[in-house]
Amino acid sequence: MKGYKFFVVIFISLTVIYIIAQYYKPHEFDWTLSLEKKSKEPYGTSILFDQLHHLFPEKEIQLQQTPIYNVLHDQNFTHTGYLLIEPEIDFEKLDIEALLNFVKSGNTVFIAALSFGKAFSDSLHIEESTGMNLFTNDSIGVNFTNPTLRSKKNYYFDHSTVANYFKKIPSGDTARILGVNSMNEPDFIQLNMGSGKIFLHISPICFSNYFMLKRDNAQYTSIALSYLNNDAETILWDEYYKSGREGATTPLRFFLDNEFLKWALWLSIIAMLIYVFVEIKRKQRIIPLLDPLRNTTIDFVQTVAGVYLNKNDHRSIAQKKIAYWLEFIRNKYFLSTQKTDDFFVIKLNKKSGIDKTLIQSITGMILKFENDQSISREELVQLSNQIDEFYNYTKIKK
């Protein structure tokens, strides 16, 4: 059994060392296009999410982790912007209807995605051409069409090529091209619907951490979102279509997201279960129950007190009560009790802080009992009450 315990301890120790080594090993970037607000990977959006209050000053930012229909159904939103930065979207029919009604009521929607889904694209009469390569050094630049916003040099991607653009958009005044790529193909458009607007951006990578940290690319992101800033007083940030209803908020996410740490965690749990299973099977001698020790001191005091009371020897009880009190004074306040005169009363009053009148009453009864050969029951009770009152004040003054 001892050898087995040693093996379990060694196993757990090695597992802990492995976990620590995995934690501190050099970080390998995950180039997955997640666009999650908590992700600090290249294609997460933690930088953008942290800067929302600077991009939208004096505006309320609300995080949404439920489908669009659940957010907008039976709600009367006004001057509100819905911001969705997604790898791709595929809305349900009810979500599309709720979103379009939201826009027609005078609100604004900003969606950046590689693909908008057939149902949603058909409802807006748009058609996109998609093509994205995250692992090439070639790049297509992006820029704005508005001369006051257009940069002299295009904003370029690194580590990826995004060749997405809108092949078809509605004709007339209902649609407007806000941005194009370096091939002069539209990648950022505005659709007017009712009293509101829909902004569609087909290159969501423009809002990622990696893009914003390169050169002056953060300026492009800020200008693009300024279209939403003009009309909205409240911003709804969507996280549902990236990470689900609740999002990945488990405390074990750090372990579960890493394959090596996940195995280390499971091995640790298995080792602990084996150890517990073996330990509960150990045979142990039954410990007999013992009755608690009886406090015979109380019985002795009660017996002695009963003897004195039965004999009506009040004087002896009073002498013992007084002797115990004087002993208490000597031990606690370090005063001489040979004389209980006025000088003794003054010193005890100063040291204990107890009422001088009470002390004088006790010392007066002590002087009286020294001369009297007999003490009545009432006098004994009075002395006992006064001494008990002194003890109680002592506890309060502690």
| Cα–Cα distance list, 98 to 68, 70, 91, 120, 389 (Å) | 7, 9, 11, 12, 79
Q: What is the pTM of this model?
A: 0.59
Q: Choose from 81-85, 152-156, 238-242, 276-280 the range with maximum mean pLDDT.
A: 81-85
In which residue are the tokens 């150990």 written? 282
Tell me how far apart the alpha carbons of residues 330 and 353 are, in angstroms, rounded to a whole number: 16
Decide which of 196 and 321 is more confident.
Answer: 196
223: helix, strand or coil:
helix
Which residues face 109 on adjacent strands? 82, 198
Decide which of 282 and 178 is more confident.
Answer: 178
DSSP string, 274-297: HHHHHHHT---PPPPP-PPPP-HH
Q: Helices marked H in the chain — which ranges?
A: 2-24, 46-50, 52-55, 68-72, 93-104, 118-124, 209-212, 217-229, 240-243, 253-256, 259-280, 296-310, 314-333, 342-352, 356-371, 377-397
Decide which of 9 and 99 is more confident.
Answer: 99
205: helix, strand or coil:
helix
Q: Residue 31: which residues within 8 A CB-CB, separation 6 or more?
A: 41, 42, 43, 134, 135, 159
Task: Determine the pLDDT at residue 74.
Answer: 85
Asked if 43 and 217 count as a contact pair (C-beta separation under 8 A), the reply is no
Tell me how far apart the alpha carbons of residues 99 and 105 are, in angstroms, rounded to a whole number: 10
| Cα–Cα distance list, 181 to 50, 185, 321 (Å) | 27, 5, 103
From 42-46, 168-172, 348-352, 369-373, the region with the lowest mean pLDDT: 369-373
Which residues face 162 on adjacent strands? 132
pLDDT tens-place string over residues 52-104: 999 998 899 999 999 999 999 888 999 999 999 999 998 999 999 999 999 99
Q: Choose from 5-9, 223-227, 260-264 the range with maximum mean pLDDT.
A: 223-227
State the maximum Cα–Cα separation within the chain, in Å, rounded to a whole number: 124
pLDDT tens-place string over residues 105-130: 999 999 999 999 999 999 999 999 86
In which residue are the tokens 């939403």 written? 228
pLDDT tens-place string over residues 246-286: 544 555 666 666 666 677 777 778 777 777 776 666 655 66
pLDDT tens-place string over residues 303-347: 655 655 666 677 777 788 888 888 888 888 888 888 888 888 888
Rg of the chain's alpha carbons, rounded to an integer? 43
| Cα–Cα distance list, 128 to 110, 155, 173, 200, 368 (Å) | 16, 21, 20, 11, 113
Please give the backbone phi and psi of residue 35, each rounded to the nearest 5 degrees, phi first. 60, 25
Asked if 190 and 21 count as a contact pair (C-beta separation under 8 A), the reply is no
Please give the backbone phi and psi of residue 349, each rounded to the nearest 5 degrees, phi first. -65, -40
CA neighbor of 32 nearest in space, from 84, 87, 70, 69? 87
For 359, the token pair is 């002390």
- pLDDT surpassing 70 at residue 138: no
Tell me how far apart the alpha carbons of residues 102 and 88 are, in angstroms, rounded to a whole number: 21
Question: What residue ranges define each of the domains in the chain, with the CATH number in brackets?
Answer: 46-247 (3.40.50), 299-397 (no CATH)
